[in-house]
Structure 1
């Protein structure tokens, strides 16, 4: 689903990414952990199109976004970007729009879906997320955990093949972390690939198929995680 080779990024005179290699298989959950300033967020921003790399190659769902630092044309890039969803650390919901309006905004404006179809799909997503009764509420009326689920729902509305999460539990109470973990595992069962940036090692162990440790702009350790029987019971 995602293949990265030799990814480099410089800000000013600082080399932030120093030749990163990373693979994510279809339906796989890969978690990137490591200290602040290690390049995790920059990596995520490049994958989701918020930044461009200086060198390296990126393939998403078999399509080449860039090769040796040279990007594909804008039309092709837009097609590839539709396969990638992003859930921001601070949710970034539109405060003046209801939950339903937040979810249908991108499908209508980006994908050109008819409003009726977008609404029907959004209601299905809200039902999947356990938020059917919150469709007409506004973000200020939701808990942190509910806002996180709405943010996930907004990304799901674009039918991404690869979902990226930036610190999905950092703004949540510890008691809500397990709920988010269950939701992410359920998405994985649907075949969605996921890349998660987090400082929460316990959360990483709960959700990941593979944990990648990153520091000083490099992948320094790649650990396959086999979730033991006890964790499986917790997530059921």
Structure 2
């Protein structure tokens, strides 16, 4: 589902990604751990097109986001990005919108769904996430765990093939990490691929199929271990 080859990214003279190679299979949950400043967030931002790499390739399914450091046309770039969902560390929900409105905004704008189509899909997702009674609630009325599920729901509303999570448990009470792990694993059972960055090793071992260690902008080939379930 995801293939990254020789990915490089610098900010000025500081090379943050130093030839990263990574593959994530269909339905696989890959977790990247490592110290702050090691390049994890930059890698995630490059995969999502929020940062442009300097060299290397990013392939999502059979679509290239970039190839050998060259980005495609705007249309091809956006087409590849549509297969990627991102759940931000601090959720980034629209505070002036209800839960339902948060979920239907992107499908209407990006996928050109009608109000009726977007609402039907959003209601199905929120019911699956156990938030069927929160459609008209606003973010400030929700708990941290509920906000996390809404953020996941908003990403799911775009039907991604790959879901990326940036520190999914950092803003949650410790007791909620198991709940998030169970939700992520249930999504993977339906064939969705996941890429997660985290400092939480307990969470990583609960959720991951493979755990990679990243430091100083590098993921060494084979530098991962498979988690027994």
Query: TM-score under structure 2 normalisation?
Result: 0.98
Deviation string 1:144-188 (CA, Å, 9 cap, x unpaired) is 000000000000000000000000000000000010001000000
* Partner SS for 1:134: coil
Moved over 3 A (4+): none
Residue 32 in 1 paired to residue 55 in 2? no
Name the residue aligned to 1:103: 103
The aligned runs of 1:75-90 (5 Å cut-off) are: 75-90=75-90
Deviation string 1:18-45 (CA, Å, 9 cap, x unpaired) is 0000000000000000000000000000
Residue 124 in 1 paired to residue 124 in 2? yes
* Partner SS for 1:215: coil
Deviation string 1:75-116 (CA, Å, 9 cap, x unpaired) is 111111100000000000010110000000000011110001
Name the residue aligned to 2:193: 193
Name the residue aligned to 2:65: 65
Name the residue aligned to 1:154: 154
Gaps of 5+ in 2: none
Name the residue aligned to 1:234: none
CA shift, 1:134, in A, is: 0.5
The aligned runs of 1:133-172 (5 Å cut-off) are: 133-172=133-172
* Partner SS for 1:196: strand
Give the CA RMSD over aligned residues: 0.6
Query: TM-score under structure 1 normalisation?
Result: 0.95
| Rounded Cα–Cα distance in structure 1 between residues aligned with 2:87 and 2:186 | 16
Gaps of 5+ in 1: 228-236
Deviation string 1:39-62 (CA, Å, 9 cap, x unpaired) is 000000000010010011111111
* Partner SS for 2:127: helix
| Rounded Cα–Cα distance in structure 2 between residues aligned with 1:97 and 1:73 | 33
| Rounded Cα–Cα distance in structure 2 between residues aligned with 1:169 and 1:54 | 30
| Rounded Cα–Cα distance in structure 2 between residues aligned with 1:191 and 1:52 | 28
CA shift, 1:140, in A, is: 0.4
CA shift, 1:65, in A, is: 1.7
